[in-house]
Structure formats: C-alpha cells, structure tokens
C-alpha cells in the first residue's frame, strides 16, 4: 500500500491563487504531492476535495495512511491561514499593526488577481460584456494607482532589501499574472515602478520556478 503524502495540492499552472500557495509551501520547506488539474474540466477528485470546483485546494493527511485524519482546505487565503497557524506563524508578521497593514496590502494584491481572472474569463466569451469588462478594468486601475502611491521597498511589501512580506509575494504574483492575461491594458507604461518591481523579483529562486508559462 502506498502511504499518501502529508500534503497534496490541487492547482493549475497559471492560477495566481494557487501560485501564492505554491510559493508559501516552498518558502516554508513543505514538500507536497502536486495534483495539476484543468479547472475547465474538473476531475472527480478535485470536485470531491472542493465542490466549488476551484483551485487551489490543499489536502492535509495529518496522519498519512489514516483516512479519518485527512481534510481538504479550499481557498488560497484559508490555506495560508492554516499554514500560518500550523507552521509556527511564519506567514504573517507578529506585530499586530504591521500584520494588519500586510494583510490589507495582500487583500489589494489578491483583488487584482480576482479582477484580472474575471476580465480574462469575460473576454473568452463570444460576446464579452463591456460593462463587466469596464468595471473590472476600473477596479484594477484604481487599485494599481493606490499601490503605486506606496513605497515598494518597505512595509507592507518588504521588510528588508531581500525579504518580501506575504503581500510582496502576492503583488508580484498578481502583476505577473496581469502581464500574461491583461493584453491591451497599458498598465506597465503607466506604472513603471510596478513593472520594475516585478522584473527585480520574478527571477528569485523562490519565485521563478512557479512563473506562469505563456
Ligand atoms: N478565492 C479563491 C479563488 C480561486 C479561483 O478563482 N481559482 C480559479 C483559478 S485562478 C479557478 O479555479 N477557476 C475555475 C473556474 O473558473 O472554473 C482563492 O483565493 O483560492
């Protein structure tokens, strides 16, 4: 009998939400069995793990081999909470005020992911709704302007020259995903500091292996 791994992660190769979890697992040194899926044709085991048919989902085998000690955690933010609590509180800062700022910044970055996914999926439809698309782009523009007005070299994005916060990782993941999906929206020319932020960090060892392919 093969004993299941402690962690299995359902993900898709371009999902920014799954990527933030893949990066965090790597950073925490947690090996996992990778279950890459096509979310547009969700396999039965993904639906069993997450009836909402979304990735990422982390399946945790608390006692590998003992089925009733296995549970599924859907949603990237919920997974990060679980990892934070089960791995010595290493995702979010300990200081309460800093933690609130980093979480708020992370919410903006994941909001960029949500709006970009929404826009991209709408563009795939036969007759994309201009209202929907326009609303998503307006939300993205406003959020980018707010982020570009903050200092990118310090909290909430970084705590030192080398150390990104969770929000810093999320911002790079969001912007790289936007680079891939938001064709025709000239955000890089408008916010060159954000474009530079991606280029400075995307080649790092903890980010490059999960970069979304074209
Ligand atoms: N709030 C969720 C969002 C997850 C999500 O939207 N995942 C997308 C991939 S980027 C997905 O699975 N989409 C499947 C679909 O749209 O059918 C999270 O943070 O994990």
Ligand 1 atom nearest to 14, measured from its CA: 10
SS3 for 11?
Answer: strand
Mutation choice for ligand 1 from 55, 57, 174, 176, CB with most ligand atoms inside 8 A? 55
Averaged pLDDT for residues 36-45: 96
What confidence tens digit (pLDDT) does each residue in 71-86 have?
999 999 999 999 999 9
Q: Any idea which fold 96-208 has?
A: Glutathione S-transferase Yfyf (Class Pi); Chain A, domain 2 (1.20.1050)
Q: Cβ–Cβ contacts within 10 Å for residue 4, how many?
A: 15
Asked if 67 contacts 9 with a C-beta cutoff of 8 angstroms, the reply is no
So where are the chain's domains?
7-86, 96-208
Q: Any idea which fold 7-86 has?
A: Glutaredoxin (3.40.30)
- Cα 34 to ligand 1 centroid, rounded to whole Å: 17
> pLDDT band for position 2 (50/70/90)?
low
User: Is there an atom of ligand 1 within 6 Å of 49 CB?
Assistant: no
Tokens of 12: 């898709």
Averaged pLDDT for residues 151-161: 95
pLDDT at 27: 96
Q: Convert 149-164 to b/e letters by CB count within 10 Å (16 or more is b).
A: eeebeebbbbeeeeeb
Asked whether this chain's domains 7-86 and 96-208 adopt the same fold, the reply is no
CA gap 54, 38 in Å, rounded: 10
User: Is there an atom of ligand 1 within 6 Å of 37 CB?
Assistant: no
Q: Whose Cα sits closest to atom 6 in ligand 1?
A: 54
Averaged pLDDT for residues 39-53: 96
């Amino acid at each position: 009998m093969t004993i299941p791994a402690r962690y299995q992660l359902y993900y898709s190769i371009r999902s920014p939400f799954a990527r933030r979890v893949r990066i965090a697992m790597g950073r925490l040194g947690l090996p996992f069995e990778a279950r890459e899926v096509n979310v547009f044709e969700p396999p039965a085991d993904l639906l069993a793990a997450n009836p909402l048919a979304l990735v990422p989902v982390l399946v945790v085998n608390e006692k590998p081999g003992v089925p009733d000690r296995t549970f599924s955690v859907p949603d990237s933010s919920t997974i990060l909470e679980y990892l934070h609590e089960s791995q010595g509180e290493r995702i979010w800062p300990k200081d309460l005020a800093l933690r609130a700022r980093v979480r708020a910044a992370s919410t903006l970055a994941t909001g960029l992911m949500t709006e970009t996914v929404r826009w991209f999926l709408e563009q795939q439809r036969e007759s994309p709704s201009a209202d929907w698309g326009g609303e998503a782009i307006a939300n993205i523009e406003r959020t980018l302007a707010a982020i570009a007005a903050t200092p990118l070299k310090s909290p909430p994005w970084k705590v030192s020259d080398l150390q990104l916060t969770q929000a810093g990782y999320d911002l790079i993941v969001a912007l790289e995903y936007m680079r891939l999906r938001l064709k025709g929206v000239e955000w890089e020319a408008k916010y060159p500091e954000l474009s530079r932020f991606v280029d400075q960090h995307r080649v790092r060892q903890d980010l490059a292996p999960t970069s979304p392919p074209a």
